[in-house]
Amino acid sequence: MIPQEPSVPATAGGPVLAAVVVLAAGQGTRMRSSTPKVLHSLGGRSLLGHVLAAVEPLHAGATVVVVGAGREAVEQHLTRIAPEALPVVQHEQNGSGHAAAVALAAVPDLDGPVLLVNGDAPLLRAATVTALVDAHRAAGNVLTVLTAEVDDPTGLGRIVRDDSGAVRAIVEERDATDAQRAIREINAGVYVGDAAALRRSLARLGADNDQGEQYVTDVLGLLVVEGAPVGGVLAEDADDVLGCNDQRELAARRRTLNDRVLDDLMRAGVTVVDPLTTWVDVTASVAADAVLQPGTQLLGTTSIGAAATVGPDSTLIDTEVGAGASVVRAHCHEAVVGPQVSVGPFAYLRPGTRLGTGAKVGTFVETKNADIGDGAKVPHLTYVGDATIGRGTNIGAASVFVNYDGVTKHRTTIGEHARTGADNMFVAPVTVGDGAYTAAGSVITSDVPPGAMAVARAPQRNVAGWVRRRRSGTPAAAAAEAAENRAEAPRDGRSEASGADTEQ
């Protein structure tokens, strides 16, 4: 019997694992996409990102990611989401066993337990891999494989156990007997094993199979022959081990992941009116008593405060919504919506928008890089770009903050408790003082002092008879002529009769 390889003690400050190896070099040809397989996204992370998030709580001494197909893009992605990870290139994709050997060769001094996991398992949870590692350590195994029981094991490797329940082999379907094909316990493709035993077994792998590749599954068989202690741990939820090989499976994993997120939210006191049309990324957060109406999408780092209502038909990306706020049929991106704020319907909050407590952004309003103060209102049909609006101010309908001169953006400042008229243009840079008013239809190009009324429009001039002369023969000319004739005719004849009566 081969002696058990030493493991890293699970002491405070020491890593439970010597390393995590993520196999992420596959071509992913069935995805039919120019995007590398592990970079396809669901629930706010890439496939690879979900796997790294699942193993992060293990605090491994090293994280090695084997890259191959689309490696430049994968390495750039790793730099953003896991800069401490070590990318290792598998120049030729010769199977999972070859990939694992390449990874271990990159960290030759590694000693202790190593977790091997595929990079396309987005439903894998930290609790599942932690249970695997704990069981491996408790049993004193050299290798432990994660397994799952599924209703339909077609196409998957079967876990073969002896009469005592010990794992003896992983048999691929094409090599299985009829009795083995009936087994519902399958290989999940996640292993924890001691580094030295893995190195030794990986070096002995052959490629005597249809694909001519080396497979990690064969490591277990080699260790069993040696008499080394091996084991298997059954995943609590079979969905945890599901991979993702094509766009249909990606959609199915996306649905399962979203169902999990919504289930957790509802258990925590969030009202989700229609889970089938509500999508929440794993990176978003929602407080208790919030209400998510149908058609809501909470993406990225979006956070929703207590008792806030979002939706229906709203998409929020990296947006903060305060307690008690309402966001209805709106699109918000990198915005801050304060407590008790009302947004929408049909509003567009662009990056840099900040709405103070009790503010309102109404129907068909677009904001960008705008600070809108407490209780201020922009009710409808307005563009507010690069602006500061003071508390208690009301912006009239159909106003435009003219912030761009063709080269540079400029800022408009509206003071507190100001009242601006409908159809105003604020040509930045310009300031409207506290308590000031602006008249409807004004183009404000100069500063308005506090408490003043600004009128910036040409006097109205009526050109009589213009339609009759310039639009002769049109319906407008006919209507105007009829109206003029009615104005010139006696009202209804009763005035003459009344005059005669008076004379009598």
Residue 312 contacts residue 292 (beta carbons within 8 Å): no
The confidence score (pLDDT) of residue 501 equals 45
Q: Which of 91-100, 105-114, 203-212 has the lowest mean pLDDT?
A: 203-212
Whether residue 499 has pLDDT greater than 90: no
Domain with CATH 2.160.10.10 in the chain: 250-454
Report the range out of 33-37, 208-212, 497-501 with the highest average pLDDT.
33-37
Closest CA to 316 of 278, 288, 275: 278
| Spatial distance between the Cα atoms of 420 and 263, rounded to a whole number of angstroms | 47
Report d(CA 82, CA 76) in Å as an integer. 10
2.160.10.10, 2.102.10.10, 1.10.3210.10, 1.10.1040.10: CATH of 250-454: 2.160.10.10
Read out DSSP for 468-499? HHHSTTSHHHHHHHHHHHHHHS-SSSHHHHHH
pLDDT score for 11: 42
Q: Quote the percentage of the chain above a pLDDT of 90.
A: 85
The confidence score (pLDDT) of residue 94 equals 84
Instruction: Using the predicted structure, report yes or no on whether residue 103 has a pLDDT greater than 50.
Output: yes
Q: Which CATH architecture has domain 19-241?
A: Alpha-Beta Complex (3.90)
User: What would the two tokens of residue 402 be?
Assistant: 């003219």
pLDDT at 211: 60
Mean pLDDT computed over 380-397: 98
- C-beta atoms surrounding 109 within 10 Å: 6
Give the tens place of pLDDT for each residue, 275-313: 999 999 999 999 999 999 999 999 999 999 999 999 999
DSSP tag of 345: S
How many other CB atoms sit within 10 Å of the CB of residue 230?
Answer: 26
Alpha-helical segments (H) within 126-165:
126-139
**What SS3 class is residue 171?**
strand
Report the chain's mean pLDDT, rounded to a whole number.
92
pLDDT tops 90 at residue 215: no
* C-alpha to C-alpha distance for 144 and 228, rounded to whole angstroms: 11
| Range in 41-50, 174-183, 486-495 the model is least confident about | 486-495
Residue in 77, 136, 380, 417 annotated catalytic:
380
Whether 77 is a known active-site residue: answer no
* Residues 447-467 pLDDT 10s: 999 999 999 999 999 999 999
What pLDDT score does 6 carry? 35
Q: State the span(s) of the chain assigned CATH 3.90.550.10.
A: 19-241
Tell me if 124 sits within 8 A of 199, measured CB to CB. no
Lowest mean pLDDT among 96-100, 142-146, 274-278, 338-342: 96-100
Q: Write the burial class of residue 28 (CB in 10 Å: 0-12 exposed, 13-18 middle, 19+ buried).
A: buried
